[in-house]
Homo-oligomer: A and B are copies of this chain.
Amino acid sequence: MADGHITYTTENLTDAVLARIAPDAPERTRIVMASLIRHVHAFVKDVELTPTEWEQGVAFLTELGRWCDDKRQEVILLSDVLGVSMLVDAIAHRTHASVSETTVLGPFHRENPPRMENGQHLSPGVAGEPLEVRVVVADEDGKPLEGAQVDVWHTSPEGFYDSQIGDGEEHAMRGRFVTGADGVVAFPTVMPASYPVPHDGPVGRVLSAMGRGPMRPTHVHFWIKKPGYRELITHIFKDGDPFLHEDAVFGVKASLVTDWDAAKQAGGAARLHYEFRLPKADS
């Protein structure tokens, strides 16, 4: 047996892997990969991960990618249920407290939703309790922003997004509006519902293993873009929903929870009213 060759142990292997990162690799790559390697190794050592558990982890990560297609994004779902998506969101937006708060994109946004006009029904032919939505898009000072693109999407009253109904091809309860001079987007729709995140795949097994439920509280998604302004990805949640305190993806923020039922006291329809405030893109 030959001498002079290093033998890697639990004590020296992490440093050996770190030492392989080239000094001339881009600085950000060095920082991110070094931290990733340190934390993955620390995790393996902390729990003394067994070969069998490692095999389960490999099988899990392999399966994760295989569940993804143009209507299902299991990797994002994993990030969501582990609170990672909201952590990235919190880091990105913590210096912008004066403007509307953000939350997770989630896996149900679709490219090129149907183009809608103000006042057009978002969910024609869908039976359910009426909901009147009226939002204003404004800058940080409350000045209305004209020409902002507003993607809106929510579940059916039964708790399903369009992509989860039938063959999933049809667009429903989903549309793209553009604000007028008053910054307003307003439309009738039907009341969405609380619903489980998709839990028939590998992420569902992770939730079950932790003894966690898959439910998300009732909400409507908004993705607002206006050139020159920071884009806003968020939801507005319905106050009183029983799952507000156990959102499977940790997406609830106090400022995003509003009373949709107030107008019903006066005999009107449920209403979701909100004013979104977007900072300048360079702020």
Bound CA span A4–B7, Å: 56
Chain A: how many interface residues by the 8 Å CB criterion?
86
Pick the residue among B5, B22, B64, B88 that contacts A51 (CB under 8 A): B88
Residues on B with C-beta less than 8 A from A239 are 2
Bound CA span A6–B64, Å: 30
Check A135 for interface membership: any CB of B closer than 8 A.
no
Q: Mark A91-103, 1 if CB is under 8 A from B, else 0.
A: 1101000000100
Which of A51, A82, A87, A212 has the most chain B CB within a 10 Å cutoff?
A: A87
Q: Nearest CB to that of A250 among chain B residues?
A: B8
Residues on B with C-beta less than 8 A from A41 are 83-84, 87
Residues on B with C-beta less than 8 A from A126 are none
Distance between A198 CB and nearest chain B CB, rounded to angstroms: 15
Check A265 for interface membership: any CB of B closer than 8 A.
no
Number of copies: 2
Pick the residue among B10, B32, B206 that contacts A87 (CB under 8 A): B10
Distance between A90 CB and nearest chain B CB, rounded to angstroms: 5
Pick the residue among B6, B21, B206, B212 that contacts A211 (CB under 8 A): B21
A-B contact pairs, 30 of them (CB 8 A): A1-B257, A2-B239, A2-B254, A2-B258, A5-B253, A6-B245, A6-B252, A7-B252, A8-B86, A8-B253, A10-B91, A14-B87, A21-B210, A22-B211, A24-B211, A29-B210, A31-B47, A36-B82, A40-B82, A44-B84, A48-B91, A49-B91, A50-B88, A50-B91, A51-B88, A58-B75, A62-B65, A62-B75, A64-B65, A66-B68
Listed from nearest, the 9 A-B pairs whose CB atoms lie closest are A65-B65, A22-B211, A17-B83, A39-B43, A2-B239, A25-B211, A39-B39, A5-B254, A7-B253
Residues on B with C-beta less than 8 A from A165 are none
Check A117 for interface membership: any CB of B closer than 8 A.
no
